[in-house]
Structure 1
Amino acid sequence: MSEYTQGVCHDGAAILKDGQPLSIEHILEALMEADQQSLTFDRFRQANNQRQLEWPGYEQTDTTFKALEVCGEAGELAEAVKKLIRAERGIAGSTVGLDAVADELADVLISADLLAAHLGIDLSKAVIKKFNKTSMKYGLETKLGEDHQ
């Protein structure tokens, strides 16, 4: 994996990759690549919906199935967290690492997005609304949205 640092070259300040100065073109390319790796709700929904169309039997999934899928994934997340705690506390039994918990968290988000898409819910708007509602309820200043960033 490459390491980016800052430094000083013969003609001034520079961004270094693995110790070597980058040209402005390479810096812009790296920034664009990093932007492509960031995830938005829209990109997530688009890819999730596309993959769902490829999934054998997807047309048989209804609201009940999708809701049960979210519950099942949440249960798998709870199980992974339990096994992680076992590992941290030295409790006998099977254990997992943080990667397993991350995988299950991702599965919860994926299945929740599929349910939201099925119900016509825009998760981006729903999260902003609920986040801000909770902040208001408890008198917290941090809010999401264009006016609150």
Structure 2
Amino acid sequence: MDNRNRAKRIVNMALQSSPPPSSSTSTNEDFSSDHSSYHPQQNVDISTELEDSEDNEERRDPEGPVGNLGEINHPDSDEPVKGRKRVRNFDRWAKNIRKRKRTAGQEYRNVRGSIVPAKVFTPVVCSCRFKCSEQVSSENQEAIHVMFYQLTS
């Protein structure tokens, strides 16, 4: 709506500055090739009203001195400097650190903040019908435990 009002003001100013057409000339004479009745004004002061409104729009710019996204405008230079995006480092994310420590059997802090102790080998004394403790010695059980938690390393 503001642009429409501005356009109307510019048209009105142009109409006021131009001389009124003479009533003796016909419409055919307006488009004649000799242009004998046309006399351009030499020293015309151009209104700065439009320029002032553009300056106000620049002051109201919500982006401020930053300009376009991804570009940083330094006050010393005129050309925008392209900013660098942050590179994701998956290894430093807390979720991935927890997962890595959990799969390695190390002590870690879970999502709720409580400390989960490291996995420690405890020999299994099994009394099942398969006689596991007789078939797999405690030394082999410990070796399996160590090898299992070293798989992730």
Please report the TM-score for the alignment, with normalisation by the length of structure 2.
0.21
The structure with the largest strand share of the pair is 1
Greater C-alpha Rg:
2
Please report the TM-score for the alignment, with normalisation by the length of structure 1.
0.21
The structure with the largest helix share of the pair is 1
